[in-house]
Structure 1
Amino acid sequence: MLTLVAIVEFPVGAEAAGQRYEDTVLALLGRHGGHLERRLRGTDGQTEVHVIRFDARAGYEAFLADPDRAALRAAVGESAPTTRVIEVYEG
């Protein structure tokens, strides 16, 4: 099991586009053994925090390489959010 926290930041003025992108990309998790545990939105409207679990690291790597994900990111262009991913464990 692999647990990740993703800190997602939307460009100013592109919050709605960024949230639509995240809605679509997060829907792809299941095809790679991923599960969205929590999706939290910052009170600033600019930030989201996702807690995501994958059955295996290979699923996360497949998610990153998913051509549909890459196409969505290319389509969003400069409105795409920036994301910092941290591998975590419960302890």
Structure 2
Amino acid sequence: MLIVRIPAEGIEDFRAYEDAVLPLLPEFNGRLERRLRNPDGTIEMHIISFASDADFENYRNDPRRITQVRLLEKSSAKLELLSMANVP
């Protein structure tokens, strides 16, 4: 799960970053299960799954994603990444 807190002035850059990197997920056996956003767009939560930890690392290290990190940095978004598992 990813929790993102975005300053109002960074929303446009954060969304541009997401538009560039989220389409890469399927190439790395990743899936955006759910994406939630508060009304003013300053908080987002993503539930993303990968087939394996290696797939997740390959996604994070992909040069196309890395080149977009400047947009994420420019947005000044604060990310909290939590590793979660399904509970029966």
TM-score w.r.t. the length of structure 1 is 0.83
Following superposition, the deviation at residue 82 of structure 1 comes to 2.6
Q: Report which stretch shifted further, 16-25 or 46-55.
A: 16-25
Equivalence for 1:58: 54
SS of aligned partner of 1:7: strand
Looking at secondary structure, tell me which structure has more strand per residue: 1
How many residue pairs are counted as aligned between the two chains?
86
Partner residue in 2 for 1:37: 33
For residues 45-83 of structure 1, give each alpha carbon's deviation from its aligned partner in whole angstroms, at most 9, with x where no partner exists: 201100001011100011111111110112x24225332
Extract structure 1 runs of 4+ deviating beyond 3 A.
none
Unaligned runs of 5+ in 2: none
- Structure 1 unaligned segments of length 5 or more: list them: none
1:1-91 equivalence runs, <5 A? 5-74=1-70, 76=71, 77-91=73-87
RMSD of the TM alignment (CA)? 1.5
Counting aligned pairs with the same residue, the percent is 34
C-alpha distance in 1 between matches for 2:64 and 2:55:
15
TM-score in terms of structure 2 length: 0.86
When residues 88 and 42 of structure 1 are mapped into structure 2, their CA distance, relative to the original with a 3 A threshold, is same
Of Structure 1 and Structure 2, which has the larger fraction of its residues in helix? Answer: 2
